[in-house]
Amino acid sequence: MGPGEYVDQQWEQEWRDIARKVARTVITTAKNRRLRAEDLLARIGGREDDNQFLRIGAEIYRLYQQQVETIGGLDFDDLVWMAVEMLQQYPDLCSRYRRRWPFVLEDEAQDSVPLQEELIALLAGPGGNWVRVGDPNQAIMSTFTAADPRYLRDFLERADVAVAEMTISGRCAPKIMDLANFLVEWVAVEHPLTEVRQRAFRPQQMQPTDCGDPQQNPSDADSIIWFREYNNRHDEFDSIARRAKGFAEGNPSLTVAVLVPTNRIGYDMAERLRQAGADFDEVLQSPRSARRVGEALCTLLDFLVDPLGRNQLERAYRALVGFWSGPSGPGNEEAVAMLLRSCYRPEALLYPEAGQRMEAALPPVDHIEPQDLEAIDLLCGYLRRWLRAVALPVDQLLMTVAQDLLVEEVDMARAQQLAVYVRIRADQNTDWQLPELVRELSEAVQGRAGALTEAEDALGPQPGRIFLTTMHKAKGMEWDLVYVMGVDGDWFPHDLDARFLGEYEFLGGDPCEDAKAELLNLIGEIGSSRLSATDRSHAEVIAERLRLLYVAVTRARRYLVLSWSRQIPRATRMQPAPMAEVFRQLQLYCEQQSR
């Protein structure tokens, strides 16, 4: 690097995340079309008008597949791909399996991917019994997997398919069901984008159960729908936390949920619920308890990577404070942090020379409280012990730190999860050293690698407790009262000129969806379109988020609250957010129905 140049670690991490997401999207999309990396790169060729993110994803695909094949491995898409090719190459084997399994039932068919469809179609055969159960209107995985509801919709249109619609549901009160039905009808008939009208929903209407049905819908007399508008997101958090807590305490036999658009919003909502003293279950990508353990372990291992780095002592101390096990406590946190931050010779503090007192390495101050010195001494003892253990395999090193740090069994179990994960990654990448492994561990802790599969994911609605989760994770569950927050025009855009929250604005859109749309266009799967790849991907986002709202609305049995905020946090300040057109339409419909 030249003079004055420097690496912005935050930007570097941002670009790593973008590249990783783009590569994952391109790889799974290509493999589901049985398109190898070399073939994809050949199709891209040297065109100047190609999508650069598709090219990046294709190049990483080539390198990724080389590494997988070098270690003799197969990923999940490879397994399905090979199974499809095996059944095609050996018809006698395929016939044997058809005789063995004469009836094939596929659940959640709206989330099917091309390879899966090919595999099951081969197993079922031309005249086989292939029963596909699914609701295209609840397809909410297409913008981050290879799934697409059009595969099930196309299947339902086939002449050789007998369609049996199951429209009766006993979950919701009729007025909530009517609201969901209106959403489907409004989008299919009146949405301004042709692509959204055609692709968002299948025109179908839910019906309540008959009088003699054992699962009766809650009555409209005991059902209410509210629409709430707040000045800012903080007011929305506070109001929902207060009201949800009051409902749970006042109705101990009923269930209540708060559904959020993103995990990030969920983390903030969880903090407000904790501040309100509410009893709640947090089912997000990585619950706070797991993140807290993982972040502390990451910080301490990062210290071992660079023990002399700036502010490393302070960061290690602050990580240890939350799990302090010393007899007299961690001392005055800010005072100790200031002393460690001002220590310019960490080696002298950790390993004082013979005859030297530890205080000699600390900045000269008038007075240091004895409990603060005791805390620093305990910290240094731990750090010296862990530095001696650096030569251990990474999983043993992590567990050495965890055994000194953690006392709760559940926290040790989470540490063990991370240790197993990072050891597997070390075995897969034999040239990685501790810095690379700590970075990989950080990815897992942030929920990007799926290493922290929590028992909380198995939780269900509990009467008298608030259930906090994302709209995506709420699918398949139901509650008496549901708060659906964040229904603003940023998260639920209405047209192609809208801001698409959650994407990379400085890149002009979502690079993953852009690369996917360009790949499908390249292989002729999309066909002619009036929209660019970016606009097609934005239309897909609009359609899927409308389906996501449909799923959220239909989680409510009796009471439903839809809310949005006129100002939401972006970066370090509040900025205006538009009302979602879908919010306005749903509110108008309810007002008309109540007249």
Instruction: For residue 151, give the nearest of 121, 117, 107, 202 by alpha carbon.
Output: 117
- The tokens describing 197, both together, are 């009208």
**Span 165-192, pLDDT tens digits:** 888 998 999 999 999 999 999 999 999 9
Residue 37 in this model has a pLDDT that exceeds 90: yes
| Residue 239's pLDDT band (cuts 50, 70, 90) | very high
pLDDT for 506 equals: 58
C-beta of residue 260 within 8 angstroms of C-beta of residue 297: no
pTM for this prediction: 0.76
**Span 280-308, pLDDT tens digits:** 988 886 556 667 888 899 999 999 999 99
Tell the CATH topology of 220-286+457-496+538-594.
Rossmann fold (3.40.50)
| Residue 525's pLDDT band (cuts 50, 70, 90) | confident
Q: How far apart are CA 420 and CA 92, in angstroms?
A: 42
Q: How far apart are CA 29 and CA 15, in angstroms?
A: 21
Half-sphere exposure (Cβ direction) of 66: Cα atoms closer than 13 Å: 7
CB 106: neighbour CB atoms within 10 A? 16
Half-sphere exposure (Cβ direction) of 341: Cα atoms closer than 13 Å: 8
Half-sphere exposure (Cβ direction) of 270: Cα atoms closer than 13 Å: 20
- The mean pLDDT of 572-576, rounded to a whole number, is 84
Residue 48 in this model has a pLDDT that exceeds 70: no
Q: How far apart are CA 548 and CA 183, in angstroms?
A: 11
Q: Which residues touch 309 (CB under 8 Å, ≥6 apart)?
A: 303
- The tokens describing 92, both together, are 């006698």
Mean pLDDT (the chain, rounded): 88
The CATH number of the structural domain formed by 77-156 is 3.40.50.300
Q: How far apart are CA 568 and CA 580, in angstroms?
A: 13
**Span 130-156, pLDDT tens digits:** 999 999 999 888 766 778 888 888 899
DSSP-derived letter for residue 316 is H
